[in-house]
A and B are shown apart, each in its own frame.
Chain A
Amino acid sequence: MPATTKHAILIVDDEPDVLFSLAALLRRDFQVYTAASGSEALEVMAEHPVHVIMTDQRMPAMTGVELMQRVCAEYPQAVRIVFTGYADTRAVVDAINSGDLYRYITKPWDPDDLVDLLRDAASQHDAMAAKVELLNELGSYFEDALRVTNDAAARDSEFLQEFQARTLKLRRQLELIGEAQ
């Protein structure tokens, strides 16, 4: 994503004042969306690209883990974080086994630490997106690389310029993946 654009974060919690506090804390660094339930969260995700989703575990109707299972299936590139008031062991195991989570965090967290965590999560998203794009492009890139090597006619300056630009892009994607690891 362009460096000037904020990452989009979706916060899900059924307690309005928690959402309000988090939105106030995060809006300087991120494009913040909020939802008061799992179903509302899915509606937001259907309407807006969301890079990181962070949800409370304990909510009526749909738990955080259940929501993350849906998100994992429908929006696999969204980085998923579940938070809870305490470590309910079963919820942790369920989350890790079925929600494919980036982090499981417990309340209370320090606001500075949370911002750092979400920045890391956003970097993780960029790395995953870069990885997907890289894999999509590698096939045709190698075909073009073979043409450059074997076909003199392909070595005109326009083709080479385009090939060089693609090389730089792939290098940048590899760097993004490396930075997130």
Chain B
Amino acid sequence: MSDREPAWLVVLIDTELLRWSAVGIDSRGQAFPLIQSEAGNLDEYKELAADDQVSFLRHRLSGVLQRGFDRFYARGKKASHILLISDGPFPNSAEGVTKQLAEHFVEWMINPPVAFLMTPSAFNVGHEAKFDVIAGDFLRSNLVTLSRAIDGIVSQLGQPECWELIPNAKKHPG
């Protein structure tokens, strides 16, 4: 039985910069920045055929979750829920990619559970907690907590000093 503190692991996917940021939200609703990619980290999907777009994004985001789990471990936290949140559909992607990606994670990962949400551009969720649930379950009552936490972290997304930067890897096939 782990004595690590449960927290939500949130991955914010900026669809304009094609950059991801992993954030923890503790049981008091406090958000803490963890790691962030360089801009363009996700852009490889644009060069791929429709089926391979989902494959690439699954693989890349699984790696993000792994890093998030590792950073949680170092902080004595344990992911109790995973939230993948994009601020729009993936631009220039094949039809249905975002939905397929969301359903993959929800079906594939059971413990902890996953929800894939979408917000207005730039994660502007406001006080009304404007989230669309693309796949997975997330309690409506938790959306307000999530909304406040994201609202508090959005201003830090453009501040590199707040994050551990994960540089883009060299591109390779497959």
Q: Do A and B bind each other?
A: yes
A residues apposed to B, CB below 8 Å? 14-15, 17-18, 21-22, 24-25, 58-60, 63, 84-88, 106-112
Whether B60 and A85, one on each chain, are in contact in the complex, defined by CB atoms closer than 8 angstroms, is yes
Considering only CB atoms and an 8 Å cut-off, how many residues of chain B contact the other chain?
Answer: 27
CA distance A109 to B69 in the complex (A): 7
What residues of B have a CB within 8 angstroms of the CB of A58 in the complex? 59, 174
Interface residues of B in 143-174 (CB under 8 A from A): 166, 169-170, 172-174
Interface residues of B (CB under 8 A from A): 2, 55, 58-63, 65-70, 73-74, 78-79, 104, 108-109, 166, 169-170, 172-174
Inter-chain CA distance A108–B55, complex, in Å, is 16
Chain B residue with Cβ nearest A112: B2
Q: Is the CB of A111 within 8 A of B70?
A: yes
Are A86 and B166 in touch, CB under 8 angstroms? Answer: no
Of chain A, the residue at the smallest CB distance from B35 is A17
Q: By DSSP majority rule, is chain A's interface helix, strand, loop, or mixed?
A: loop
Given the complex, which residues of B lie within 8 Å of A60, measured CB to CB? 170, 172-174
Using Cβ atoms and an 8 Å threshold, which residues of chain A touch B73? 25, 110-112
Inside 8 A of A18's CB, which chain B residues have their CB? 63, 66-67
A85 contact set on B, CB distance < 8 A: 58-63, 66
Q: Are A110 and B62 in contact (CB under 8 A)?
A: no
* Cβ 8 A contact of B62, one of A21, A22, A106, A111: A106
Neighbouring A residues of B104 by C-beta, 8 Å: 86
CB distance from A90 to the nearest CB of B (A): 11
Closest to A110 in B: B69
**CB closest residue in chain A, given B59:** A85
Residue of A nearest to B72 (CB): A111
List 12 interface pairs A-B (beta carbons < 8 Å), by A numbering.
Answer: A18-B63, A21-B67, A60-B173, A86-B108, A107-B62, A107-B63, A108-B62, A108-B68, A108-B69, A109-B66, A111-B69, A112-B73
